[in-house]
Amino acid sequence: MQPTKASVLCAGLGTLAGDPAVAAVVTDNRAAGPGSLFVCIKGERADGHDYAAAALAAGAVGILAQHPVEGVPAGQTILVADPLDAMIRMGANYRALFSPVVAGVTGSVGKTTTKEFCYAVFSAFGKTLKTEGNQNNEIGCPNTLLRLDDSIRYAVVEMGMQGRGEIEKLALAARPAGAVITGVGVAHLQQLGTRENILAAKMEICAGLPDGAPLAVNGDNDLLPGAPAPRGIRKVLFALDNPSAAVRGADLHAAPGPDGAPGTAFTILDGEAGRYRAFIPAVGRHNVMDALAAWTLATRLGIEPAGAAAALAGFATTGHRQHVAVHGGITVIEDCYNANPDSMAAGLSALAQYRVTGRRIAVLGDMFELGPAEEASHRAVGRLCAECGVDLVLAAGRASRVLVQEARAAGVPARHYDGLPALTTALAAEARPGDAVLVKASHGMGYSRLLSDFYAALDGNR
């Protein structure tokens, strides 16, 4: 963050005595230092107000708080009704100081992967800022905007939500030049009730788009092609199956990358820009769709098509999202940062495409936030294991019991375990060189720990 006068950064919120320059906005008092502004956020486990005085002692020039804090002078306090809304307002105020081409990304599934494909493309044409990890909420999105500076030419901003109105706030702060909606699924069904409500929430990204902006949407989704875009927004469909989409992917086939790692080659067919060959260092139709999403948005924002297609090869996974590792001769698809029915289907489809000399093993866990669709969704995943040729299912989690039942009924050997230690032990005993293993569950299941324990067990058995 470039040092910015508090009067500019906090416009519409309040003032600090002496109008000091703010060099950082922090929500953790341990990150407070000279020139920082501390935002007091009350969470489930801790209340930031309790640490405000410590932040000032560390050098913070002021705080944003919901009530006066003992030990913090009134002149160093800006009182706000909602600290999260205040974070968004500061992000918007700061973003207004710069003129990057901002690409907005949202959707029920594939947001982070699409964001990384966008980053691969835009960064080939200029210095690019991106949302780190999945920092796509009321804190993460402003923090991304607060990392802008004069050297940034492009910015890729991911926007998530838990309910209606949240994406609209983030979009109005980020002011993207164009946006992509990767799909509308059943994630957040518990909060929003219907997929139509989820669609409306995702379409809120249009609130931040200027007149004439492109909105790239998944043309193979059942809801998005027919969803009306606001007047003045140019809706562009990308697809693998929909013949009426403006941008299509065709001729998909497995191909090794320069390092020999598995990837996918395909052809981009664009009614506007022509035909281009592309390669991505990832396997699965869902990854090709995410690459098409990034290519469509980038080209509609002025990126040269051939260069954009070539730049897709620079895609890199982050964290435990669709990352492929080979450990002890076992290919492991690490995809345990998040899970919903659509991403489960994509992960199992990717597993089915791996050429193996051994077995295909699916290590699965619960999918969260599905509300009344929870049981049916887990049963559907169990049946899908059989359709994708999975040889063995190992699972843990309350909701995954029915997943295992359904997989067994479909003829797939499947076992359920009461916790991660037992599941990890079983996986270490079952996996052999030549096998491909998909590890997939919602983040709260803790399967990233399962991975580290599994690798340690393999190393110990050498």
Summarize pLDDT for 18-77 with one digit per residue, the tens.
Answer: 999 999 999 999 999 999 999 999 988 899 999 999 999 999 999 999 999 999 999 999
pLDDT of residue 185: 85
The two three-digit tokens of residue 251, written as one number: 């001729």
Summarize pLDDT for 340-390 with one digit per residue, the tens.
Answer: 998 899 899 989 988 789 999 999 999 998 988 999 999 999 999 999 999
Summarize pLDDT for 143-189 with one digit per residue, the tens.
Answer: 999 999 999 999 999 999 888 999 999 999 999 999 999 999 887 77
**Which of 188, 201, 90 is closest to 146 using CA atoms?**
90
Q: CA-to-CA distance for 352 and 390, rounded, in angstroms? A: 7
Q: Reduced to 3 states, what is the DSSP secondary structure of residue 190?
A: helix
| Residue ranges covered by each domain of the chain | 4-82, 98-314, 323-460
Percent of the chain at pLDDT exceeding 70? 99
**Which of 449, 174, 124, 135 is closest to 307 using CA atoms?**
124
Summarize pLDDT for 110-155 with one digit per residue, the tens.
Answer: 899 999 999 999 999 999 999 998 788 999 999 999 999 999 999 9
Domain 323-460, second-level architecture: Alpha-Beta Complex (3.90)
Strand 392-396 relative to strand 360-364, pairing:
parallel
Judge residue 342's burial from the number of C-beta atoms within 10 Å of its C-beta, 0-12 exposed, 13-18 middle, 19 or more buried.
buried
98-314 has CATH 3.40.1190.10 classification: yes
Q: Are 280 and 254 in contact (CB under 8 A)?
A: no
4-82 has CATH 3.40.1390.10 classification: yes
Is the fold of 4-82 the same as that of 98-314?
Answer: no
Q: Are 288 and 264 in contact (CB under 8 A)?
A: yes
pTM comes to 0.84
Summarize pLDDT for 293-330 with one digit per residue, the tens.
Answer: 999 999 999 999 999 999 999 998 765 667 888 888 99
pLDDT of residue 189: 76
